[in-house]
Amino acid sequence: MQPQPSLARVLGPWMAAAVVVGTVIGSGVFKKARNVAENVPETGLALSVWVLGGVLALLGALALAEVAVLYPRAGGNYVFLREGYGRMAGFLWGWVEFGIIRSASIAALATMFTESVHDVLKQMLRPGEGAAEVLAFWPRQALTCLVILVLAGVNARGTRLGAGLQVVVTSVKVGSLLALIVLPFAVLAAVSEPQYPPTGAHLSPAWPAGWLSAERWGLYGAALVGVLWAYHGWMNVGPLGEEIKDPGRNIPRAFLGGVLLLILLYCGVNLAYYLVIPRARMVELKDTTVATEFCLRLLGPAGAVAASAAVMTSVFGSLNGNLLVGPRLLYAMGRDGLAPGWLTRLHPRYATPAAATGVYALWSCLLVVGVGLLVQHRLPAVPLGFAELDLNLPQGKAPFDVVTDFAMFGAVAFETLAVASIFVFRWRLPAADRPYRCPGYPVVPALYVFIMAAVLANMFATAEQRAEARIGALFIACGVGVYGIFLRRTTR
């Protein structure tokens, strides 16, 4: 029997933390403020959504770090679910993570990158013409696919190369967010009468006059899904556990340090947005990012170009990080016989899972095309005998919001199970060596699981995300069928 291939431990604490911060800071902090403002009209309540999203990520990180230290192997959540709940749970995570979560995230990030390129081109080639297009819809989708394929090639060249690029881009992204936070105050100090002066008047009303109705809570939950997208990726150290030096120390540091930095940056940036942009104007920003409008008001046309460039850099780094992390899942599943064995092949020169990287890139490109078709065309309702299943997307919903809601359905469902696996391992392996233990156990993981279960239920209840939730549920059901037919009787 040939020995299984293994990945080298080449990532230190800074590179591991850069994966957390770099893959999380992508498009959400620049784009999702509009969705939050649309669903939550009170400024203080809207900012509380960003705080709650960060607290949830922190609760999950506190718990999942313990599980990741127990199993520092390639695959991350796949390994945790397989060891905690059995092979079928591991397979379903891989099925959903590959088919929905990671690939849709890659597609969404690449879409956002292309939109930012388009914004820069509009500012440079057609200034003052509002929403005039430079590239039509399908050429933008082609550019999106090209970006995915190029970055896949970079990460196939070497883990250290991809991670090194991640450190550089992450540093630029953090610096960009810090600049956005201080920009309103710098403008007030430097300009005596700015055209759009930052003002606390935009923060009113801060809170609702009374208790929220059931409908308002539903809208709050819909806004939270958008914010969870902005924080999504904090788990990305897990799949790289086999390549991190001294995992007992560096995995918890990367988890917790990365999430705390994200909370500070996100809350600071969104407060700055509200100081400059009235909430009513923020809701209208469907063809550009909130960050672009923010810089346009403070710095003029040059600021809009700079903001679009910052968004491009940020999304580029997050996209690179996802293409670095994601293929480790298919590699791990191939080693266990739950995916084709050829996915374990390492590049003969660069020792990377190049085959798995290529598969991820191609499937993400197919999602870009598929979502484009869904946006452009209507589907007939599916008859079920007692009712009809309507899988059409809400009219006017942007491709970016479609793929992010699609990704978050699978993420909320299975990543919550991954965090909950801490209960299984505490019960099953009480004497296991744990260099790191979750503080506040069992309250911390239980609170995370309860809130995320409520978010998942709300996705089925609200019209804004119901179609994506239904499609995601059907995809999971297909995964159960595939496992039962082809893999149930296989052995490790």
Residue closest to 292 by CA, chosen among 30, 474, 38, 92: 30
Mean pLDDT across 73-94: 90
Lowest-confidence pick of 25-39, 120-134, 167-181: 120-134
Q: What is the pLDDT of residue 212?
A: 85
Does residue 103 or residue 165 have the better pLDDT?
Answer: 103
- Residues 6 or more apart whose Cβ sits within 8 Å of residue 187: 194, 197, 198, 298, 299
Residues in the chain: 492
Which range among 87-96, 233-242, 401-410 has the greatest average pLDDT? Answer: 87-96
Mean pLDDT across 245-261: 86
- 231, pLDDT greater than 70: yes
DSSP 146-168: HHHHHHHHHHHT-HHHHHHHHHH
Other Cβ atoms less than 10 A from the Cβ of 210: the count is 6
Tell me the pTM. Answer: 0.81
Q: What is the pLDDT of residue 389?
A: 54
Mean pLDDT across 260-277: 94
Residue closest to 225 by CA, chosen among 474, 443, 446, 28: 28
Strand 388-389 to strand 382-383: parallel, antiparallel, or no bridges (unpaired)?
Answer: antiparallel
Mean pLDDT across 21-33: 83
Q: Which residue has the tokens 């004497």?
A: 431
- 107, pLDDT greater than 90: no
- 67, pLDDT greater than 50: yes
Q: What is the pLDDT of residue 406?
A: 73
Distance CA(313)–CA(26), nearest Å, equals 9
Q: In degrees rounded to 5, what are phi and psi of residue 375?
A: -70, -35
Contact 21, 317 (CB under 8 A): no
Q: What is the pLDDT of residue 143?
A: 92
Fold of 13-487: Amino acid/polyamine transporter I (1.20.1740)
Q: Which residue has the tokens 């092949």?
A: 345
Contact 479, 252 (CB under 8 A): no
Contact 237, 18 (CB under 8 A): no
Lowest-confidence pick of 42-56, 349-363, 369-383: 369-383
What is the chain's mean pLDDT, rounded? 84
Does residue 336 or residue 47 have the better pLDDT?
Answer: 47
Q: Which of 470-478's residues contact partners 24+ apart within 8 Å by CB, and which partners?
A: 470/389, 470/391, 471/391, 471/406, 472/96, 472/100, 472/406, 472/409, 472/410, 472/413, 473/409, 475/95, 475/96, 475/99, 475/100, 475/410, 476/92, 476/95, 476/96, 476/410, 476/413
Does residue 424 or residue 354 have the better pLDDT?
Answer: 424
pLDDT class for 163, splitting at 50, 70, 90?
A: low
Structure tokens at 453: 């279960």
pLDDT above 70 as % of the chain: 88
Residue closest to 360 by CA, chosen among 109, 102, 147: 102
- 128, pLDDT greater than 60: no
pLDDT above 90 as % of the chain: 35
Structure tokens at 118: 């388009």
Interval 142-159: pLDDT, tens: 999 999 999 898 877 765
Contact 263, 230 (CB under 8 A): no
pLDDT class for 104, splitting at 50, 70, 90?
A: confident
Q: Where are the domains of the chain?
A: 13-487
Residue closest to 445 by CA, chosen among 88, 80, 187, 82: 80
Does residue 229 or residue 55 have the better pLDDT?
Answer: 55
Residue closest to 5 by CA, chosen among 343, 487, 338, 358: 343
- Residues 6 or more apart whose Cβ sits within 8 Å of residue 394: 463, 464, 467
- 386, pLDDT greater than 70: no
Q: What is the pLDDT of residue 490?
A: 61
Q: What is the pLDDT of residue 387?
A: 54
pLDDT class for 1, splitting at 50, 70, 90?
A: very low
- Which residues on neighbouring strands pair with residue 74, listed in sequence order? 240
Q: Which amino acid is at 430?
A: P
- 54, pLDDT greater than 50: yes
Distance CA(100)–CA(173), nearest Å, equals 26
H-type helices in 242-300, by residue range? 247-276, 279-283, 290-299
Torsion, Cα of 452, 233, 99, 118 (10° steps): 120
Q: What is the pLDDT of residue 392?
A: 59
CA 110 to chain centre: 12
